[in-house]
Amino acid sequence: MRQSQARMRRQDLAKRSMSHEVKRLAGVIAGLRNSLDSVHRERERPRLSGAEIGLLDERRNNLLLTIAALDDRLSAVQGLIKLGRPHVMRMQ
């Protein structure tokens, strides 16, 4: 019985930890999307040089890649929670 209680306690802890990670990831993604919107607004300004446009395009591409990677991570964590297979995260 004690092993079962310990296992349930670990699973509850893991689920809380993963739920917290989902909230943090969602917040980071929202912030990055706001940055992406500001890059789009900046790019629409008149009289930008070619170098400035190139820098904004590079920043936009980096933001898009980062958002895509974090979206993948978010989906994976949400999927594990829905499957009922949470695991304890090891922070490094």
Q: Which string of DSSP letters, residue by residue, matches 32-85?
A: HHHHHHHHHHHHTSSS--HHHHHHHHHHHHHHHHHHHHHHHHHHHHHHHHHHT-
Identify whether 66 is part of a domain. yes
Identify whether 48 is part of a domain. yes
Residue 54 scores a pLDDT above 80: yes
Identify whether 18 is part of a domain. yes
The letter for the amino acid at 81 is I
Identify whether 91 is part of a domain. no
Q: What is the pLDDT of residue 59?
A: 97
Query: Which residue range is the domain that position 42 belongs to?
Result: 2-83
pTM for the model stands at 0.81
Identify whether 88 is part of a domain. no
Longest dimension (CA), the chain: 72
Q: Which residue's entry shows tokens 């306690």?
A: 9
Share of the chain above pLDDT 90, in %: 60
Identify whether 13 is part of a domain. yes
Identify whether 45 is part of a domain. yes
Q: Give how many domains the chain has, as a whole number.
A: 1
Identify whether 92 is part of a domain. no
Whole-number Å distance between alpha carbons of 74 and 88: 16
